[in-house]
């Protein structure tokens, strides 16, 4: 699984970007909301990625911020939403705008996006609303961090929480453990290590 790539931008042809790292050129599809934030050709950048494997295609999707990658992963889990439609959704509106649309049950705005019909829009609002309740307990922090390249304590906590979940802890328990050992300047590994100690 390719989760992140650091490299030099060789080509920018919306929605694709060609990124070279260690002599290998990776072609990534990016939502336009991310594409706009890319540096110029010849500059180095870091892109978070999702590798989508289908019967007839293998596509690498790229994102400037990790929060956008998280949102993309949640979108493709929704019924009737594949990677290409998720890309179209995140190209039509920023992550912050999408969250507001879901929170406000704004079906009309979703219907303006290519490939989104009424049934898909209604289903998206229901499914994503539930997911936001579980994942983004602190909605304001999530939205604020969308525009930041700096890894916040909130994001670090989130990573640690989901690492614990992948180890078998329930979301509520993992959150409680991580919150109990959080401190300013903490890195993800320290939070995980201290949370596991606290669990014993």
pLDDT at 124 over 50: yes
In sequence order, which residues have a C-beta less than 8 Å from that of residue 79 and are 6 or more positions away?
123, 127
pLDDT at 147 over 60: no
pLDDT in tens, 44-100: 999 999 998 877 778 999 999 888 898 899 899 888 888 988 998 988 888 888 888
Which has more pLDDT, 87 or 158? 87
Fold classified for 151-199: Helicase, Ruva Protein; domain 3 (1.10.8)
pLDDT at 135 (0 to 100):
57
Using a pLDDT cut of 70, give the percent of the chain over it.
88
Domain edges within the chain: 4-63, 66-143, 151-199
Rounded-to-integer distance, Cα 191 and Cα 193, Å: 6
Fold classified for 66-143: DNA polymerase; domain 1 (1.10.150)
pLDDT at 1 (0 to 100):
72
Q: What single-letter DSSP state applies at residue 101? A: H
Can you give 35-71 as a three-state secondary structure string?
HCCCCCCCCEEEEEEEEEECCCCEEEEEECCHHHHHH
pLDDT at 137 (0 to 100):
53
pLDDT at 200 (0 to 100):
63
Span 121-140, average pLDDT? 72
Fold classified for 4-63: OB fold (Dihydrolipoamide Acetyltransferase, E2P) (2.40.50)
pLDDT in tens, 13-30: 888 999 999 999 999 999
Span 170-183, average pLDDT? 87
Span 114-125, average pLDDT? 87
Which has more pLDDT, 63 or 185? 63
Would you call the peptide bond into 15 cis, given omega within 30 degrees of 0 as the criterion?
Answer: yes
pLDDT at 43 over 90: yes
Give me the chain's average pLDDT, please: 83
Q: With CA atoms as reference, report the closest residue to 46 among 31, 29, 60, 66.
A: 66
pLDDT at 23 (0 to 100):
94
What confidence category does residue 133 fall into, taking pLDDT thresholds of 50, 70 and 90?
Answer: low
């Amino acid at each position: 699984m390719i989760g992140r790539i650091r490299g030099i931008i060789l080509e920018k042809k919306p929605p694709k970007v060609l990124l070279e790292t260690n002599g290998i050129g990776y072609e990534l599809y990016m939502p336009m909301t991310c594409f706009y934030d890319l540096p110029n050709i010849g500059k180095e950048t870091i892109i978070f990625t999702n590798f989508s494997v289908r019967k007839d295609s293998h596509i690498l999707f790229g994102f400037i911020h990790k929060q956008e990658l998280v949102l993309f992963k949640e979108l493709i889990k929704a019924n009737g939403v594949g990677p290409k439609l998720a890309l179209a959704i995140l190209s039509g509106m920023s992550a912050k705008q999408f969250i507001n649309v879901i929170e406000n049950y704004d079906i009309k705005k979703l219907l303006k996006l290519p490939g989104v019909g009424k049934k898909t829009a209604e289903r998206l609002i229901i499914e994503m609303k539930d997911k936001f309740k579980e994942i983004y307990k602190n909605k304001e922090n999530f939205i604020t961090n969308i525009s930041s390249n700096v890894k916040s304590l909130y994001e670090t906590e989130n990573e640690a929480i989901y690492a614990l979940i992948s180890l078998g802890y329930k979301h509520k328990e993992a959150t409680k453990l991580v919150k109990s050992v959080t401190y300013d300047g903490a890195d993800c590994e320290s939070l995980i290590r201290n949370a596991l100690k606290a669990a014993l």
